Structure formats: structure tokens, C-alpha cells
Structure 1
């Protein structure tokens, strides 16, 4: 299913997107050495409920998971890059934490992810890897405009990641979003320009470049959800929800200005 939002739905999407971004930034501030992932999950749930919204993850039960997911936020530490199931783990100095959050409010969902280092230790290559995903995300957004094709976005994202020296996995990537969290079209993190679905105003997309330091191969944890790098290498993940406008793309998952 591919949805095209009208003006009223786009206005709701802006509210949901801002909420997602604000929660992620609040969790980033609270994620210190010694913080438990289960506490981050609980705090996220509290903020979602206080906003009169709902989590897209609690009842999320895709074919690849051992679900339902049953938590409010994905928490990936170090080599855990996608669908990190919150568990009893206290963050350590130098951990690379990826937080991925999808929320629905007033019938419209938004999805975003951030990666950052916890504490004072800065392990080699971690900051560069995070920045590569952020730069790739910006390139994908810059390519998003009416008349462009999905392949143009994939190519822009993949070019940045490959030029930075990272292998690119295409099993999981960006996606359409609207009244539900995951919709068509699928947006691989690399691809050929000039191919795929043509973007039109009102189309909402979640772009999410992610990489692992030295591999493009994933392994599942025993929990049936958490996806890790097959080599144990660190990983990073960045994501924004955007909506196609008449002359480009608007980022919906930016935090409230301080």
C-alpha cells in the first residue's frame, strides 16, 4: 500500500514527527553510563502515553520477528544495528547506542533513529561511522523531490556509504509510512538512479541508512528480533521521516527548537 497524504494528514504528520524527535532527544540525554536499556524503554513509554500517542512497536509482529515486539523503542548497542530488543543491560563507557522509534498519533505514524556514543570513551571509527550514516541520510533527503524515483534516493544514500568504505546491506532499508508504520515503497540503501516509484507531493517516506563497520551480513539474536553484524563489528543507524512537497522534501522528525 502506498498512501498520499492530504493537507490535514500532513499537518498531523508534523505533530507526530516532532514528538518522535523530542522523545529520541530526551532519551539521548538520559542515556548515561549505568543507564539500563529497560529504563529507556519505560521512559519512552511514559512520554508516548503522556502525549496521547501510541507505540508502533508494542504489537508489531512481522514475519521475520518472534513477536509481538512488546516494547516501545529499539535499543541497539554496538554490533546490534536493527530491531534491538530492550533487555537488562547497563550502558558502558564508549558504547555506541542506536535508538529507533516509531509512534502513531491521531492516525499518522512517524519513524526516526539516532546513533551516538555513551560516556567519554570514543572508540576508533565510531564517530566516523555515525557521521557517514548522517551524511548519507542528508544525501537521500536532498535527492527527494517530485518526479524523482526511489532509485535516485537509494543511489544517493549508497554512494555516500560506499565512498566512506562501508559494505551496504539491502535486506532492510527505508520505507513508505503514513497511517501505518511500514508501507511500500521499499527504499534500499543503495541502488540505480532513474528506477522505481516516482515521488509525488504528499508521499511520506522513512529513509534509514545503516551500516556495519566491516560486513554487510546480519545475524539474529536468540530473542528472534535483534539483528547484529555477523562479525561482531560496530554499527550505526540514522533515520528521518520526510514528506514530499511541491518543490522538495520536508523533514518531519526534527526536535522542537530549544
Structure 2
């Protein structure tokens, strides 16, 4: 493993392959959770399902015990106006809610990190559109990445797509990040800004890209649990995330179950995985 470009962790292809194992486990866990999101389920139910699946497949939850105060769960479950870092527990999901689920796993010392936002039963069309825009901006960001480009090429693509779709709030105080032997590493990956800035995109750099978008203000507040981030105006939010890397062939989405092959093909973007 080499280190260059202001302390970035640059992985070998063999190490990226190990990250793919962790990433696939995260992706498969999130698909289990997506199917489990129904009216009457609790966020604690989702957390227990996630922890069991990760451990049953040789992984360790990344989030459990992370940070100060130590995060007390395997997933972040953020409901409605909660954008990120919600703590699962006894909250019962009801028809019309929307829940963001962020999940991380470690396998053999390597991290994967991804998030989805899921409607609970039927939700309004404006909420479905918010989710669509947020997820599409994630893919637009990854598709904009090229070897030799810069980190903010991703940021610019995310912002430009969201802005083109309507009046949404894009969180600025929370960003994507580098990932590898630790969950959060340099560089930060903002969801807004000019292209052509930041560290170079090189083979072996792995990034977690995670747009967080609201139906109202971009401003947030930290709740009393010292983890949950909520919108100040009570507006609903969406959050999608993938861990990805670049190869000489194109992007490889390490936390997508199929590596991102089908979605990238739909966008006309070469697939860089195997």
C-alpha cells in the first residue's frame, strides 16, 4: 500500500478486491433492510437484522462503538426530517415515513460504507422525487470521476444535477470521504463546489460519495443524543451513499451488489470492475 497526495491511502488492486468483499456485504445487508422496511417495523428491528447478517458473513459492524460518544448501533436509521446519524431503537415506522439507512462493515480490516433511503408504504410524489434526485445525483457524481481528474469533479456533478431538478437543500456541513483501512479518511468529498479542485483521482483511491438532500433548507441541527442530524425547518430529507473506486476501465462501485455494472451501463459509462 502506498501513500501519496497529502496522506491519501492508495490501495493495490489486491487490496481493492478485499474492500469489494466488505462492500458487497454492505450492499447485500442494505437490500435485506430495504425489504424489511414496512409499517409496524421498528428501527431497532432493522438494526438487529443488519448486525446478524454482517456477523453471519464474517464481518464486523463499522459503526458500533464508533466515535464520541460511542455510537450504540450497527446502522444509522434517520426518519423523515432526520438526515443522517439517527440512532435505531423503539421507534415504530408508520405509513408515509421515509427512512435513511446507513450501514458499514469491516471484513479482514477493510471497510465498506453505503446508504439508502426507503419509503415506508405509500409516500407523496414529492418525496419519491426527492429520493430519485438524490440517488441519481450520487450516480452522476461517480460517473463524472476520471483518472487524472479531481475530487471536486464529483462534487460539481452532484450539485449540478440536484440544482437542475428543482429547489432542494444540499447539506454542506457533512460530506463524503475517503475509505479503506479506516471508515473515514482523507479526502473529504463535498456535494457542491467547482470542478477541478482537490486531490487527484488515481487508481487505488477509494471514496464514499454520499449526497444528503432536503425538501427545504440546507441547514441542520444536532439533536440531544449528540448524533442525530435533523433539518432546522422540519423538511424531509434523503441520503444515498456508495463506496467506489476507479480502475483504468472506469468506476467500480464496491458497495453495489453488481458492482454498479447495470446502472453504469444505463448511463453509458464503462464499468471498471470484475
Which TM-score band applies after superposition, normalised by the shorter structure? over 0.9
Q: Is the 8 A contact 1:162 1:168 kept in 2?
A: no
d(CA) in 2 for partners of 1:49, 1:247: 33
For 1:216, the equivalent position in structure 2 comes to 218
- Can you list the C-alpha shifts for 1:39-98, whole angstroms capped at 9, x where unaligned? 11111111111111111111211xxxx510010000011111110111211110111111
For 1:144, the equivalent position in structure 2 comes to 145
d(CA) in 2 for partners of 1:126, 1:213: 8
Matched, 1:40 2:50: no
For 2:18, the equivalent position in structure 1 comes to 12
For 2:154, the equivalent position in structure 1 comes to 153
Q: Is the 8 A contact 2:37 2:118 kept in 1?
A: no
d(CA) in 1 for partners of 2:250, 2:125: 36
d(CA) in 2 for partners of 1:175, 1:150: 10
d(CA) in 2 for partners of 1:123, 1:115: 14
For 2:123, the equivalent position in structure 1 comes to 122
For 2:163, the equivalent position in structure 1 comes to 162
Aligned residue-pair number: 252
Q: Is the 8 A contact 2:59 2:107 kept in 1?
A: yes
d(CA) in 2 for partners of 1:49, 1:19: 10
SS of 1:3's equivalent in the other structure is strand
For 2:31, the equivalent position in structure 1 comes to 25
For 1:243, the equivalent position in structure 2 comes to 245
Unpaired stretches in structure 2, ≥5 consecutive residues? 1-6, 260-274
Q: Is the 8 A contact 1:22 1:256 kept in 2?
A: no
Moved more, 46-55 or 176-185: 46-55
User: Which gives a bigger RCO, structure 1 or 2 (Cα 8 Å, sep 6+)?
Assistant: 1
Q: Is the 8 A contact 1:145 1:245 kept in 2?
A: no
d(CA) in 1 for partners of 2:144, 2:34: 28
For 2:175, the equivalent position in structure 1 comes to 173
SS of 2:10's equivalent in the other structure is coil
d(CA) in 1 for partners of 2:123, 2:60: 35
* Structure 1 residue ranges, 4+ long, deviating more than 2 angstroms after superposition: none
Unpaired stretches in structure 1, ≥5 consecutive residues? none
d(CA) in 1 for partners of 2:199, 2:250: 16
How far does residue 166 in structure 1 lie from its aligned partner after superposition? 1.1
For 2:269, the equivalent position in structure 1 comes to none
d(CA) in 1 for partners of 2:198, 2:153: 9
d(CA) in 1 for partners of 2:138, 2:220: 21
For 2:231, the equivalent position in structure 1 comes to 229
d(CA) in 2 for partners of 1:247, 1:23: 27
For 2:263, the equivalent position in structure 1 comes to none
d(CA) in 2 for partners of 1:239, 1:213: 18
- Can you list the C-alpha shifts for 1:7-34, whole angstroms capped at 9, x where unaligned? 2111111111110000000011111110
* Aligned counterpart in structure 2 of residue 188 of structure 1, from 167, 172, 190: 190
d(CA) in 2 for partners of 1:169, 1:256: 29
The CA RMSD measured in Å over matched residues stands at 1.3
How far does residue 116 in structure 1 lie from its aligned partner after superposition? 1.6
How far does residue 124 in structure 1 lie from its aligned partner after superposition? 3.8
